[in-house]
Amino acid sequence: MTAAIEVRQAARAYRVGQTEVAALRGVSLTVRRGDHLAVVGPSGSGKSTLLQLLGGLDRPTAGSVVIDGHDTVTVGEAELARIRNRVIGFVFQGFHLQPRTSALDNVALPLVYRGVRRAERRRRAAEMLARVGLAARAGHLPGQLSGGEQQRVAIARALVTGPAVLLADEPTGNLDSAAGRHLLDLLEQLNTEHGVALAIVTHDHEVAARARRQIVMRDGRIVSDTDTDTATDTDTITDSGVCS
Amino acid sequence: MRIGEAARVAVGALVAARLRTGLTVLGVMIGVSSVMVLIAIGDGTRREVAGRVDELGSNLLLVVPGKVEIGMPTISRMQLSDVEAVARVVGDPTRVAASVASGELVQAGPVKTFTTVAGVLENNRTVLVRDIARGAYLSRADVDSARRVAVLGATVARVLYGGTDPVGRQITVAGVRFRVAGVFAPLGQSLGVDRDDEVHIPLTTAQRLFATTRVDGLAVRATDPAGMAALGDRIVAELGERHPDSAFSVVTQDQILSVLGDILDVLTGVLGATAGISLLVSGVGVSNIMLVSIRERTREIGLRKAVGARPSDIAAQFLTEAVLLTSVGGVLGIALGVAATVAVERFTPLPTLLTGWSIALSFGVAAGVGIIFGVLPALRAARLDPVPALRTE
C-alpha cells in the first residue's frame, strides 16, 4: 500500500495570550491508501489537531505533513483548498450540513468547488446518496432527517469527490448506539469495497476496536500504533511507516 | 465557483434573512432615490434657466454698470442722455431699451400689493419680446409726456382686480394715481420667482416718482449677431467716454449661459454630493450587515473551506451577496426615485428633469457601493481559519 498522507515530526503549537500551548509535540504517521485506522486518547491529547493536519485544514508549526505528494507547509491557501477538495473527505461529529439546503445539494456542495456543472453535480450526488442508502431522502432538508441519516448525508458529501482518505472526527458521537453501529458498517463497507482510507478519531473504544489499526495518543504524542492485520505494535516515537 | 452558483447561494442567504435584507435594501433605496431626485432638481433648474436665457435671443446685448467679471453690478450712473448716445452708436433708437426699477406699493381701491415697478421706454416690449393680453403697451407719447399710465403683470392684475378687466381703471403707485393701459400675457413661474409680479410705467414718469435721473441698465437688440462683439465694444467705449470714472459691461446670452452653467454645475454637484452621503451611509449599513451575516455563517464558511472552497471562492460569494443587495436596492431605488421626482414636479415649484445618465449613475454608484463596502467583509470571510470556524456554534 502506498502512502496517502505522510506526517513527519509534526508539531502544532497555539499561542494563547503570551504563552504557547503545544497541541502536538512531534508526531510521525503514515496513512496508507485503503487504511482503516482509529485515533484514540483522552481529551486534549491532540487527536483532533492531528486529524486537522491530516486533512490540510491546518498546518504544522514544525515538521511536515505531505498529502498526496503535496507538502502542506509550503503550498498556498488556494492549492491547499484544492488538495482538500480532491484527496480528503471530512465527516464531523456535528454533521455540518447546510440547514436550508436539500440532502442532494448538501452532497453536491464539494463539486461546486471543482467546477462541475449543476446537472452533473446533482447526478453524482444522487449516486452517492443511493450508495449510503438515502436515495429516497434526496429532497429532504437536514432537519427532516434523523441523526443517523444526517451523518450518512455527510458521508455521501465527503465521498462525492472520490477522495483517497475519509477523515471522521467522532462520527458516531451524536448518534445512538444502533445508528452508530449502522454508520460504522457503512464506513467499513465503503473502505473495503471502494478502497477509501478511513481515519476515525473517537473516544469510543467499541468504535476504535473495529478499526484494523489503533493509534493511541497522549499529551500530543502517539504512544502506540497497533496494526491488527500484521499484529505488530510499534511504539511509534519513531517513524510508523516501518510497520507496513 | 461560477458566478451563477455564487448568485444562487447569495439569493438563498438574502431570502433566508428577509427582514435584515429588506432593511438594508431600504437604506440603499433611500440613498439611490435621493441622489436621483436631487440630480433631477439640479438638471431641471439648469434646463429652466437655460430656457429662460434662451428667450432673450442670441442677438441681445445687456449693458450694465460695473465690471461683471469682478462681481455684482454697481450703482448706475447712466442717464437718459446715455441711452440716446447708445442709440446713436447702434444707429436705431427702437433697438435700445432702458429701464429703472424699484419695489413699490401698488393699490387699487382697498387692495394693495408690493411689486417691482419698472420705468421703461416704449420699445421695451419689442426689444425684450413681451405679449400683451389686454389693452395696449406704453406709447412713445406716454414716455415723452411722462404720463401716469401703467401696464400690469398678470399676477398684479389678478391680485388687484380678480377676474374683472383692469384696463382703464385707476391704481396708485407709491401713492400717485395711474391709469391702467394694459395687462401682460402671463409668463409663469420660474425658479420659484413669479415673473408676472411686475408693473411697467414710462421711464420718465418713473424717474420723477423715484426722484432719480438714473437708468439701471440697457438692452440692445442687434441686427447682426456676427457684429455683436464689435458693437458691444463700441457701446462700452462710448459710455466710458461719457463717464470716465465708471466702468460698463456688455453681456450676451452666451456669457450668461456660461456663467449660470458654472453656478448650476456647482449646485447640481452639491445636491448630488449631499444625497451621496446618504448612499455612503447605506454602504456602511451594507458592510455592517455583511459582517453580521458572516459571523452568523462562520460554520458554513468553515465547512465550505473544508470541502475545498478557496479563499477567493469565499470572497466572491460574499462580494456577490453584497453587490446583489445593493443592486436590488439600486433598482428599487430608481423606481422610488422616479416616483419621488414626479411628486416633486407635481407638488412643489421646483423644476425637475430625469435623464438617462442620472439613472445609470445612480445604479452604477449603488453597485459600486456594494463592491466597495462588500470587499472588507468578503476578505474577512475569505481569511477565516476553517478550524475555529467549524467549531463555532
Distance from CA of A193 to the nearest CA of B (A): 23
For residues B47-75, average pLDDT:
74
* Helix H or strand E segment including B379: helix B356-382
Summarised one tens digit per residue, pLDDT across range A34-64 is 999 999 999 889 999 999 999 999 999 999 9
Q: What is the ipTM of this complex?
A: 0.90
Hey, what's the torsion of the CAs at A33, A38, A43, A48, to 10 degrees? 20
Comparing A176-180, A238-242, B171-175, the range with the smallest average pLDDT is: A238-242
Inter-chain contact B306–A57, Cβ cutoff 8 Å? Answer: yes
Q: In this predicted structure, what is the pLDDT of residue B69?
A: 55
Inter-chain contact A110–B387, Cβ cutoff 8 Å? Answer: no
Local confidence band at B1 (pLDDT 50, 70, 90 cut-offs):
low
Question: For residue A236, is pLDDT > 70?
Answer: no
**Residue in B299, B313, B390 closest to A113 by CB:** B313
Closest-CA residue to B30 (of B345, B302, B369): B369
Q: In this predicted structure, what is the pLDDT of residue A243?
A: 40
Inter-chain contact B313–A114, Cβ cutoff 8 Å? Answer: no
Mean of pLDDT over chain B: 88
Closest-CA residue to B29 (of B375, B357, B326): B326
Local confidence band at B64 (pLDDT 50, 70, 90 cut-offs):
confident
Inter-chain contact A109–B390, Cβ cutoff 8 Å? Answer: no
Q: In this predicted structure, what is the pLDDT of residue A229?
A: 64
Between A232 and B284, residue with greater pLDDT: B284
Interface of B with A (CB under 8 A): 1-2, 5, 12, 16, 299-300, 302-313, 385-387, 390
The reply to whether A171 touches chain B by the CB within 8 Å rule is no
**Residue in B12, B309, B390 closest to A113 by CB:** B309
Closest chain B CA to residue A121? B5
Inter-chain contact B1–A157, Cβ cutoff 8 Å? Answer: no
For residues B365-380, average pLDDT:
91
Which residues 187-206 in chain A show a CB within 8 A of chain B? none
Summarised one tens digit per residue, pLDDT across range B3-42 is 788 888 888 888 888 899 999 999 999 989 998 998 898 8
Distance from CA of B296 to the nearest CA of A (A): 13
Question: For residue A70, is pLDDT > 50?
Answer: yes
Summarised one tens digit per residue, pLDDT across range B180-234 is 999 999 988 776 678 899 999 999 999 999 999 989 888 998 887 778 888 888 9
Q: In this predicted structure, what is the pLDDT of residue B68?
A: 61
For residues B114-126, average pLDDT:
92
Question: For residue A110, is pLDDT > 80?
Answer: yes
For residues A206-225, average pLDDT:
93
Query: Where along chain B do its domains lie?
Result: 3-52+259-391, 75-246
Between B341 and A233, residue with greater pLDDT: B341
Question: For residue B260, is pLDDT > 90?
Answer: no
The reply to whether A96 touches chain B by the CB within 8 Å rule is yes
Cα–Cα distance measured from residue B200 to residue B351, given in angstroms and rounded to the nearest whole number: 28
Q: In this predicted structure, what is the pLDDT of residue B103?
A: 92
Q: In this predicted structure, what is the pLDDT of residue B178?
A: 95
Report angle CA B275, B278, B281 to the nearest 5 degrees.
Answer: 155
**Residue in A81, A98, A115 closest to B305 by CB:** A81
Distance from CA of B322 to the nearest CA of A (A): 20
Please, which contacts does A112-121 make with residues 24 or more away whose CB atoms are closer than 8 Å?
Answer: A112/B1, A112/B5, A112/B309, A113/A81, A113/A85, A113/B1, A113/B304, A113/B307, A113/B308, A113/B309, A113/B310, A113/B313, A114/A85, A114/A86, A114/A161, A114/B308, A115/B2, A118/B5
Summarised one tens digit per residue, pLDDT across range B170-190 is 999 999 999 999 999 998 877
Summarised one tens digit per residue, pLDDT across range B336-353 is 999 999 999 999 888 899
Between B269 and B136, residue with greater pLDDT: B136
Closest chain A CA to residue B300? A98
Q: In this predicted structure, what is the pLDDT of residue A241?
A: 41
**Residue in A84, A100, A109 closest to B12 by CB:** A100
For residues A106-124, average pLDDT:
94
Grid cell 431600504 is found at B26
Cα–Cα distance measured from residue B199 to residue B201, given in angstroms and rounded to the nearest whole number: 7
